[in-house]
Amino acid sequence: MPSLLFSARQALLLAAAYFFLTMPAQAAEPAYREAKPGAWGRLEYQMIYLTAPEGVLAEFPMPSPQPRWSFADTSPAVARGRLTDSGLDAAVRDRLFADPRARRDDEGVFTLFPSVADIEALKPAVRDAIYRELEKYPQNTFFHDAVLVPDGDSDAWLRGTGLPDHVVALVKQLVWRDGDAVLFSDFSTVLGHAGSDSEARRWVRVLTRTRAVVGYLKVEPADNLAALRRYWSAGFHRKDSLPMLNATADLPGGGRLDLTHLLPPLPRRLAYAYTTPELERTGQAPNCHWTSLNFFNYTRQNIYLDLKFAASKVLEDYDRVSDAPVFGDVLFFLDEKGNAFHSCVFLADDLVFTKNGGNTVMPWIITRLTDVKQLYLHGKSGATIVDFRRRWDDDDD
C-alpha cells in the first residue's frame, strides 16, 4: 500500500531528525576518529548518543518501581543457594524468602521482591554476582538486556543527561560489572525516587540512550575510485549508492560522504531511527536478525522475525567464510551450542550496522563492532563470532 509505506518512511525520517535536533550536549570528544584504511577507503567518524523520541517512549512499557528477581526453572531451595553463594546478607535473604509474595508460578519461575533499600545496600561484589545470575533469565528484562555503559565510563555516559545530582550518584552506585563490561539494570530502583510520571519517563529516556557512530568516507580524485565503487556496491550487486559516490568524487578536490548514503535503500531509511507502530503490526518488533537479513533487500521481509525462517535464509543464501569480512557480511554471535544470539552487518574496519534487540527504545545504528562485542559477549564463555557472506545470483545484479 503506497500511502502506508510513505507514512512509515516519513515517521522514520522524522524520528531520525528528532534525535539530531534534541541530542544533549556531549563530553569533549576528538573532532573525528580515524578508521584503519582498507578496501573501503579512508573513513572518519564521531561518537554520538541517541535519545528515543517522546512518542516512542510513550509506547514503551515503563518498569515497575517494585524491584523483582526471577529465577526460571528453579526451585526456591536452588535460588536460595545461589543467592547465598553470591554473598547476599543472610538476614536479607531470609526475609525475602519469608515474604508471602515469594512464589513459584505455573511456568516454574520463582520470583523474589527485594525492596529499593535492599538494592541500594548491596555491596558491589555482591551486586555483580547476583546480577550475573539474574542476567541468565529473560524474565529479568533489564538484566537480560542490560544497558551498556560505553567504555565503562559512567561519567561520560551520564554527562549532559540533565539528571539531578542525587540520581547521577545513585546510578553510578547501581552499575554492575560482568567481565570488562559495565552495565546498568536497576530502573525500578531509580524510578522509586521519581516524583511524578513525567519525571520517571524523562529519567528512563536518558538512561536508555544509545551510543552510535556518524561516519564519513573521504574521497579524493587520486583515490582508486573503481575499487571504492566495487566495495561499497557489494561487487556491483547493489549499485544504489554509486550516484552519490560518483558525485562526491567529482567535487573539486574531492569531499566527504556520509556512510548512510553508502548503505542499501532499506538500512539507509532505518539508520538512526526507532521502531514505528507500523513496523510492529506483525506482533513482534524488528530485531537484530531481521535487520541483518534484510540488509540488501529492497522490500523488508518480516518472515525473518521467525528464527526458523531466518536460519533457513542463511543456509540457502549465505556461505560461511573465513577470510576478512567485507561490506554486507553478516556476523553471527554463537553460543557454545551454536545458537545465534545476535547478529550485525559488517560495513568497514570496526564499523557495523545493527539493531541491538527488539526493544522499541533501541534504534538502528552504525556503531563499533568493539562495542557490540562488549555488550553481547560479556559473561558468555565459549561464544564465537562467525562470518556469513551472501551468495549472489546472476539476477541479483
Alpha carbons 263 and 271: distance in angstroms, whole number = 9
Using the 8-state DSSP alphabet, how is residue 99 labeled? S
| pLDDT for residue 173 is more than 80 | yes
Please write the tens of the pLDDT for every residue from 93-143: 999 999 999 999 999 999 999 999 999 999 999 999 999 999 999 899 899
* Lowest-pLDDT range of 68-82, 113-127, 230-244, 273-287: 273-287
Position 359 scores a pLDDT of 79
| pLDDT for residue 260 is more than 70 | yes
Alpha carbons 93 and 77: distance in angstroms, whole number = 12
Position 120 scores a pLDDT of 97
Alpha carbons 39 and 25: distance in angstroms, whole number = 34
CB atoms under 10 Å from CB of 372, counted, come to: 23
The model's confidence at residue 88, banded by pLDDT at 50, 70 and 90, is: very high
Please spell the DSSP secondary structure of 211-278, one letter per residue.
EEEEEEEEE-TTS-HHHHHHHHTTTTT--TTHHHHHHHHTSTT-EEEEGGGGS-HHHHHHTT----GG
Domain range annotation of the chain: 2-52+210-396, 69-207
Position 248 scores a pLDDT of 95
Segment (H or E) for 69? strand 69-72
* CB contact set of 165 (below 8 Å; sequence gap of 6+): none
Position 278 scores a pLDDT of 65
The model's confidence at residue 10, banded by pLDDT at 50, 70 and 90, is: very low
Position 283 scores a pLDDT of 63
Position 30 scores a pLDDT of 60
| pLDDT for residue 367 is more than 90 | yes
Alpha carbons 274 and 289: distance in angstroms, whole number = 16
The model's confidence at residue 19, banded by pLDDT at 50, 70 and 90, is: very low
Position 304 scores a pLDDT of 87
Alpha carbons 215 and 38: distance in angstroms, whole number = 15
Q: What cell does 166 get?
A: 542525587
Q: What cell does 290 get?
A: 531481521
pLDDT: is 142 or 8 the higher one?
142
Please write the tens of the pLDDT for every residue from 271-323: 999 987 666 666 677 899 999 999 999 998 888 888 888 888 998 999 999 99
Please write the tens of the pLDDT for every residue from 323-343: 999 999 999 999 999 999 999
